[in-house]
């Protein structure tokens, strides 16, 4: 199927839809995922026992602090659970979930169709490759063109023999410093963006300079920054000047870890996790600087402990709680609507 039939539409796992039907949209989530690639051994006997336990109420406090050191927490492959969690989002007024589970962390196209149908929400599926540790063994020997062709096929025809098409390229994973294979992955993703008109979403490495470095590379490769999302900015960029430089490029700025307030996780001990209040303050600063049309929000739910059924905030945290806090801190309803409805609609609509 040609992408010509998708121009001006948003491509969900159940086919193209009118952008006006998206409603409240969270642009960076994982309904199903295996994030074992980030597992960190706790380093002591007591921690290792907890690492192998199932997520339960009596160990939830430890897991919230050490969430990447519990194996069960890093795998969410229960379709029924994902459906119930997505249905909570729907009941809270949500319309669309963007699942950017890319290749290497358990993308499951057929299951996403089932979740979308049963929960009655739009689901947009990602394409491309995550960070280098999640790459397949043959990735280093593959050419940019072969990776590009694979992504283009996922968007235009569907993943494998599923017929389920990706509506966004990403999340394309980069480390810090990024590897040659990750650079190749980004180059292929940019080429696929040019070929399909699909939006592109980048996962930058854990350094304040990583997003700008990637932006310059995307420009060099002929990518369209106005059709590109830089994710995890809330846990990457803390310097106001660097943040303004990034925003000035015209790229979409995504604050996508709402609800996650555990600083210095085991797999990233130097990464500061801000509070939701601090995230909102940063967004208000970017709005004041004139960038309200380029801002997106999400939760990046990628572990069990953040789901409602495991004592977490779920996919409905933004529409039910964060939106209220936004109003209390001075954001207008028109500005909130831009972040939750209008900006996602614009970036997800195919060129």
Q: What is the pLDDT of residues 226-271, one digit of tens each?
A: 999 999 999 999 999 999 999 999 999 999 999 998 887 888 888 8
CATH number, domain of 156, equals 3.20.20.140
pLDDT (mean) for 133-150: 97
| Rounded distance between C-alpha atoms, residue 126 and residue 140, angstroms | 21
Residue 55 maps to a domain? no
- DSSP annotation string for 61-90: HHHHHSGGG-TGGGEE--HHHHHHHHHHHH
Q: Which residues contact 337 (CB under 8 A, 6 or more apart)?
A: none
Which pLDDT does position 267 carry in this prediction? 85
The answer to whether residue 230 sits within a structural domain is yes
Residue with tokens 């999400």: 298
Whether residue 135 is contained in a domain is answered as yes
Position 222 confidence tier, pLDDT thresholds 50, 70, 90 = very high
pLDDT at 2 > cutoff 60: no
Q: Is the predicted pLDDT of residue 68 greater than 80, yes or no?
A: yes
Pairwise CA distance, residues 28 & 30, whole Å: 7
> What is the rounded average pLDDT for all residues in the chain?
96
* Measured CA distances, 299 to 177, 180, 231, 302 (Å): 25, 29, 11, 9
Residue 50 resides in a domain: no
Confidence band of 4 (pLDDT split at 50, 70, 90): low
pTM value is 0.96
CA 120 to chain centre: 20
| Measured distance CA(301)–CA(308) in Å, rounded | 11
**Structural contact between residues 42 and 48, judged by C-beta atoms closer than 8 angstroms:** yes
Domain that holds residue 164: 3-45+76-348
Helices in 289-330 by DSSP H: which ranges?
317, 323-328
Residue 71 within any structural domain of the chain: no
Q: Are 93 and 319 in contact (CB under 8 A)?
A: yes
Which of 126, 122, 111 is closest to 79 using CA atoms?
A: 111
Per-residue pLDDT tens for 308-335? 999 999 999 999 999 999 999 999 999 9
Adjacent-strand bridge partners of 97: 26, 123
Q: Within a domain: residue 161?
A: yes
**Cα-based distances in Å from 310 to 85, 161, 225, 279, 333:** 11, 34, 37, 24, 31
| Interval 180-219: pLDDT, tens | 999 999 999 999 999 999 999 999 999 999 999 999 999 9
Q: Is 51 within a domain? A: no
pLDDT at 22 over 90: yes
Tell me if 65 is assigned to some domain.
no
Q: How far apart are CA 1 and CA 158, in angstroms?
A: 9
Q: Given this model, what pLDDT does residue 3 score?
A: 52
pLDDT at 273 over 90: no
Domain count, the chain: 1
């Amino acid at each position: 199927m040609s992408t010509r039939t998708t121009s001006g539409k948003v491509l969900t796992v159940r086919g193209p839809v009118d952008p006006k039907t998206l409603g409240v949209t969270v642009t960076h989530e994982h309904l199903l995922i295996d994030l074992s690639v980030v597992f960190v051994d706790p380093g002591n006997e007591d921690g290792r026992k907890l690492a192998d336990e199932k997520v339960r109420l009596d160990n939830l406090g430890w897991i919230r602090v050490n969430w990447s050191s519990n194996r069960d927490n890093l795998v969410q492959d229960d379709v029924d659970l994902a459906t119930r969690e997505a249905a909570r989002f729907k009941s809270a007024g949500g319309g669309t979930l963007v699942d950017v589970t890319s290749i290497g962390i358990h993308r499951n196209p057929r299951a996403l169709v089932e979740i979308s149908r049963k929960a009655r929400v739009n689901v947009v599926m990602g394409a491309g490759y995550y960070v280098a540790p999640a790459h397949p063994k043959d990735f280093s020997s593959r050419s940019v063109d072969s990776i590009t062709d694979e992504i283009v096929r996922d968007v235009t025809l569907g993943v494998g023999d599923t017929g389920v098409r990706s509506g966004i390229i990403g999340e394309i994973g980069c480390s810090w410093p990024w590897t040659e294979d990750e650079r190749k992955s980004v180059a292929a993703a940019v080429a696929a963006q040019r070929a399909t008109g699909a939006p592109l979403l980048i996962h930058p490495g854990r350094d304040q300079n990583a997003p700008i470095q990637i932006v310059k590379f995307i420009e060099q490769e002929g990518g369209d920054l106005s059709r590109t999302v830089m994710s995890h900015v809330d846990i990457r960029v803390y310097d106001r000047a660097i943040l303004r430089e990034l925003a000035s490029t015209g790229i979409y700025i995504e604050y996508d870890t709402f609800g996650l307030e555990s600083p210095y996780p085991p797999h990233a001990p130097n990464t500061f996790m801000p509070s939701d209040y601090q995230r909102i303050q940063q967004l208000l600063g970017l709005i004041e600087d004139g960038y309200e049309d380029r801002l997106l929000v999400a939760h990046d739910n990628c572990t069990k402990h953040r789901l409602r059924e495991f004592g977490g905030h779920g996919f409905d945290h933004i529409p039910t709680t964060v939106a209220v806090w936004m109003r209390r801190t001075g954001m207008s309803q028109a500005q909130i609507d831009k972040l939750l409805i209008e900006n996602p609609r614009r970036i997800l609509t195919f060129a």
